[in-house]
Structure 1
């Protein structure tokens, strides 16, 4: 799964990295992003890549309340075509979530050690995602999203049995292309990212509390320390 991640770059860096043509959301450095918060994502709107904010936790158009978002912030790649919450969004409502790292917790007996995972070749990268727009009983329109997860690669499997789908440049172009509707082609993109292009390091247990924010959360600490 992917339940916490970081995005510590500036809006200008994202515009350059992803060829953003329209900005509807201002990015500020964040070190402990959690489900149900507003996060930065990119979608293709009339041929333009648009940066906008999304509620993290998919709210299908048919949802009766926002509570469903607590169980839809991740979508397993294997079930996006069968699970009701996601099949209504796939393949037409595709987007990507921006990040520069994500957290997972390694279990050692009763102890849990948080680790941050990053990509070597890029300061900022994209998780594959789906989005939908939901209208509340009060008439509020909320655009929400989910991060798609897949089986782990050789690096992440040491910590967890799932990892977020990270899209390389070629895969990203296909995923954001509204002209592509082949479900088999799109499903084939949802693979574990190359472990050789990733690295990880231990971070403070403070990241476990969503109220904790700040650059110190992403600092490497000695293994087995607090």
Structure 2
């Protein structure tokens, strides 16, 4: 599962990796939460495009979103066949640009949040789905969900699921809904390599969506259950508080 993530890279760095046509400007985000606008990349009209969607997919056939479960994640093992995601797997695959994500580990003292990021400190891409939902008055809203898979060994000590992370060489295949069928694209959705991610315990301040600043990434003292070999190093970000939304 993925319930919070960050996008702290500069707009230029994000565009350089994902190679979309637009040149959007947006602030760093340290605590992106469900229902908020999130950056995605999709393939349309012969090129890649940047698009904001509301995090929480609403299938087109839903009549009342207020009575529908918020779909922030989709299981990669079943998304191709589930009614809520089947259409998006065929026609609306996308990428979520991400700097890192949070996951919570159950301990005797409660849930301890961890910040998980690429070991090289760079950006990564979550496999995602998007859909357009139209309200009865004719307004449209783009919504999206992150695909998840079984956790690799390094993440499994924290949680049994993790986002499906795509490498740059797989971007074109995932986004090409015109030529790559859903069943073939699904083969890309697998746990990240063991040496790709590092995880560090961080403050429970991340539990509140009101907190969205660089201090959320600062390492805290591990709980007593942590072993010496599990602690990794992450740079502290001293950026000031940022806007809540893009």
The TM-score normalised by the length of structure 1 is: 0.93
Partner of 2:169: helix, strand, or coil? helix
Supply the distance in 2 between the matched residues of 1:122 and 1:218 (Cα, whole angstroms).
Answer: 13
The answer for the alignment partner of 2:16 in structure 1 is 16
* Deviation sequence 1:151-176 (CA, Å, 0-9, x none): 00011100111100010112222101
The answer for the alignment partner of 1:66 in structure 2 is 65
* Deviation sequence 1:28-61 (CA, Å, 0-9, x none): 1111111111000000111111111011011111
Please state how far the C-alpha of 1:69 moved relative to its aligned partner.
6.6
Q: How many aligned positions are there?
A: 224
The answer for the alignment partner of 2:86 in structure 1 is 87
* Deviation sequence 1:124-171 (CA, Å, 0-9, x none): 111001111011123211011100000000111001111000101122
Supply the distance in 1 between the matched residues of 2:123 and 2:33 (Cα, whole angstroms).
Answer: 18
Supply the distance in 2 between the matched residues of 1:94 and 1:206 (Cα, whole angstroms).
Answer: 33
The higher radius of gyration belongs to: 2
Please state how far the C-alpha of 1:191 moved relative to its aligned partner.
0.4
Supply the distance in 1 between the matched residues of 2:81 and 2:154 (Cα, whole angstroms).
Answer: 29
Supply the distance in 2 between the matched residues of 1:180 and 1:100 (Cα, whole angstroms).
Answer: 29
The answer for the alignment partner of 1:143 in structure 2 is 142
The TM-score normalised by the length of structure 2 is: 0.86
Mapping of residues 1-226 of structure 1, within 5 Å:
1-23=1-23, 25-67=24-66, 70-121=69-120, 123-224=122-223
Query: Is contact 1:43-1:50 (8 Å) kept?
Result: yes
Question: 112-121 or 63-72, which moves further after superposition?
Answer: 63-72
- Structure 2 gap ranges (5+): 225-246
Query: Is contact 1:92-1:181 (8 Å) kept?
Result: no
Q: Note closer, same or farther for the CA distance 1:122–1:43 as it changes in structure 2 (3 Å cut).
A: farther
Q: CA RMSD in A?
A: 1.7
